[in-house]
A and B are shown apart, each in its own frame.
Chain A
Amino acid sequence: MPVTPAQRQLIDSLLHAPSGRRAFLFAALCAVAAGSATAATPARVKTQARIIIAGAGAAGLTAAARLSAALDGASITLIDARREHFYQPGFTLVGAGIKPSGYVVSRTADYVPAGVELVAERVAEFDVDGNQVVTDSGKRLPYDFLIVATGLQLEYSLIEGMDTQLIGQHGIGSIYAGPQAAEATWRAMSAFADQGGRAVFLRPSTEMKCAGAPLKYTFITDDYLTRRGTRGKAEVVYNSNNKALFSVPIVSEKVRMLYQERGIAVNYERVLTAIDPGKRIATFSTPTGAEEQPYDFIHVIPPMRAPETIRNSPLPWTADRHKAWAAEGWMEVDKGTLRHLRYANVFGVGDIAGVPKGKTAASVKWQVPVAVDHIVAQIAGRTSPAVYTGYTSCPLITRLGQAMLVEFDYENNLTPSFPGVIAPLEELWVSWVMKTMALKPTYISMLRGLA
């Protein structure tokens, strides 16, 4: 996207403006952008650099689109064995019975930009000291720059007795495991909502993608129980892994108030360790020992960590620098530039990046342009001033038809895009409309490098 100096100045002032001024600046920005809509695109940087992008999910595809638009002559290779692309922010809507599973499935190949090669394999080894990756079939691919966008691994097997095959049966749901699992979760939850009983919700103690989803699904289930007249016969319990409901304190407090208002019980410092599908009993670890909780419906969210190939590479944080992230294998990147702290030609974007917050599509939207700008600047022999502030957003569904559009950054600041119009902690229909109508088109445009 071409940015003139005037626009750049305006964007800078926009990003640093107090929220009251931002709305006014929006209008000005629109005018400037409209005025330059026909302005010439800046020349692409000529280069013969070899760039490998490991992983063709949201972050990998977005990076490929932006790099191929900015560079002329570069050899850009995407490596990913999966042919299907999942629109993961839609999993909650599938699990809520709002959308069918097909809503979240498309083909990776549809988003691969012209001139970018897609290698349909898995990376088996990251030889970052030798500046090359090795694929499953033994192919060695050397690179000048490496973007790691492998995503993360869902570790259902770390919960004793849990298996993804169980999703949809014995009152077990889990929207994370994929489109089919999300649909099966909807069937299990819907059957529960018809009867009532005890619903158990939780989140893992590891870093996780979209930390709002466990809260949303609790709200949605509560709403279905109410709509179907079975709320009186139901107990809804949310088990938090730590002493808060959300990492941003002001949001955590708001959710606590809403849960209290809706009669949703909250347990703190509970981590699911085992599940007995036959007896419908979930075992949680607590500071004072194990605790068994019976359930009629349970929404299981597994521990999450980096894929094995990353954990076995030199890329993760080391235990002396960040113990928890080292154990889970997240990449040691600078939180502002996404550049690896020990391997300067390696970047980590998306779920794999070891940075606070994030692991959402919105994080990808703001991380990738920063990483790409640093690569392009380095190739062009200049320095990029681009910094990722940790901005991410979560349309936190609080009932069917309403959501809170929560946006925040590394510092736990709320960063509303529409201050004074869309209040971040207000349950609004307009936020729901954005989630159900505008988010997927925006996401797809992002994959194509257009948004």
Chain B
Amino acid sequence: MKELDPRILLAVFQEMLGTMLWPLLALVLLGTLAFLLLVLRERGLRSRRLVRAQLLALPGGALALWIMASVSSSGFTDAGGPADWLLIILVFALGAAGAVVVGYTLAGWLSGNSRSDKLINT
């Protein structure tokens, strides 16, 4: 672990996720693209939808932590030091942010433009 090369990371992730790696990456990429397109189309973020989507942050973060614990054969009382809390915060934040973006994007594309929503910025 003395060198950190993106190609090594890619090889390791490929071994870790197997055939799931590319579909997952594609999903992340397409999801981000769908979110950006939505923001462009609506010329900004819709505040009401965003607030509603933020309700998903808590379950999203919790789900990410649950998945992490399950794939690493961990319990929920294993945090031992600051580095552990950093990782827990990181995993939770990723899960929370992911859930909000997914919720916001899905709601946006499924419901179309809602004129009653106020724009946060235009």
- Give the B-binding residues of A (Cβ under 8 A): 1, 11, 14-15, 26, 29-30, 33-34, 37, 93, 98-99, 366, 391, 393, 400-402, 407, 415, 417-418, 421-423, 426-430, 432-433, 436-438, 440-442, 444-445, 448, 450-451
CB distance from B58 to the nearest CB of A (A): 22
Q: Which of A11, A34, A407 contacts B6 (CB 8 A)?
A: A34
Instruction: Among A34, A417, A437, A451, point to the contact of B71 (Cβ < 8 A).
Output: A437
Assuming A391-B2, A393-B1, A426-B80, what are 16 further A-B pairs, CB within 8 angstroms?
A14-B3, A29-B3, A37-B7, A93-B73, A99-B73, A400-B73, A401-B75, A418-B1, A423-B81, A426-B83, A436-B72, A441-B15, A441-B16, A445-B12, A450-B8, A451-B12
Which of these, B7, B68, B84, B86, contacts A1 with CB under 8 Å? B7
Checking B13, B15, B79 against A429 with a beta-carbon cut-off of 8 angstroms, the contacting residue is: B79
Inside 8 A of B80's CB, which chain A residues have their CB? Answer: 402, 426-429
Binary contact readout B1-42 vs A (1 if CB under 8 angstroms, 0 otherwise) = 111111110011111100000000000000000000000000
Q: Which of A33, A99, A415, A429 has most chain B Cβ within 10 Å?
A: A429
Interface of B with A (CB < 8 Å)? 1-8, 11-16, 68, 71-75, 77-81, 83-84, 86-87
- Please report the C-alpha to C-alpha distance between residue A438 and residue B4 in the assembled complex, in whole angstroms: 14
Contacting B87 at CB < 8 Å: which of A429, A438, A442, A450? A429
A448 to B77, CA, bound (A): 36
A400 partner residues in chain B, CB cutoff 8 A: 73, 75, 78
Q: A391-B2, A432-B74, A433-B74 are in contact. Are A421 and B83 (CB under 8 A)?
A: yes
Report chain B residues within 8 Å CB of A366: 2
Closest to A97 in B: B73
| Known contacts A402-B78, A428-B83; A433 and B6 CB within 8 A of each other | no
Least CB distance from A360 to B in Å reads 13
- Closest chain B CB from A91 CB (angstroms): 15
CA distance A223 to B84 in the complex (A): 20
Partner of A438, one of B16, B77, B86: B16
| A451 to B13 alpha-carbon distance, docked (Å) | 11
In the bound complex, residues from chain B placing their C-beta under 8 Å from that of A1 are: 5, 7-8
Is A33 in contact with B5, judged by CB distance below 8 angstroms? yes
Quote the shortest CB–CB distance from A162 to chain B (angstroms).
31
A-B contact pairs, 30 of them (CB 8 A): A1-B5, A14-B2, A26-B4, A29-B3, A30-B4, A33-B5, A34-B6, A98-B73, A99-B73, A401-B73, A401-B74, A415-B2, A417-B2, A421-B83, A426-B83, A428-B81, A429-B74, A429-B79, A430-B84, A430-B86, A432-B72, A432-B74, A436-B74, A437-B72, A441-B13, A441-B15, A441-B16, A450-B7, A451-B11, A451-B12
Least Cβ–Cβ distance between B82 and chain A, in angstroms: 8
Q: Report A258 CB to chain B, min CB distance, Å.
A: 12
Q: Report chain A residues within 8 Å CB of B14.
A: 441, 445
CB-CB under 8 A from A98, the residues of chain B are 73
- A26 CA / B73 CA spacing, docked (Å): 29
A69 CA / B3 CA spacing, docked (Å): 19
What residues on A are CB-neighbors of B6 within 8 Å? 30, 33-34, 37
Complex Cα distance A197/B101, Å? 54
Contact partner of A430 (CB less than 8 A), chosen from B11, B16, B87, is B87
Chain A CB within 10 Å, residue with most, of B5, B68, B74? B5
Whether A440 lies near B83 (C-beta < 8 A) is no
A400 and B78 alpha carbons, distance in the complex (Å): 8
Smallest CB–CB gap between B62 and chain A, Å?
17
Closest Cβ of chain B: how far from A62's Cβ, in Å?
A: 13
Bound-state Cα–Cα, A213 to B84, Å: 23
Residues of chain B contacted by A440 (CB below 8 angstroms): 15
For B68, what are the chain A residues with a Cβ–Cβ distance below 8 Å?
433
State whether B78 touches A432 (Cβ < 8 A). Answer: yes
**Complex Cα gap A397–B74 (Å):** 12
Q: In the complex, what distance in Å separates the CA atom of A222 from the CA atom of B48?
A: 53
Which B residues are in CB contact (< 8 Å) with A401? Answer: 73-75, 77-78
Q: Are A436 and B73 in contact (CB under 8 A)?
A: yes
- Separation of A229 and B7 alpha carbons in the complex (Å): 47
* Chain A positions within 8 Å of B4 at CB level: 26, 29-30, 33
Min distance, Cβ A438 to any Cβ of chain B, angstroms: 7
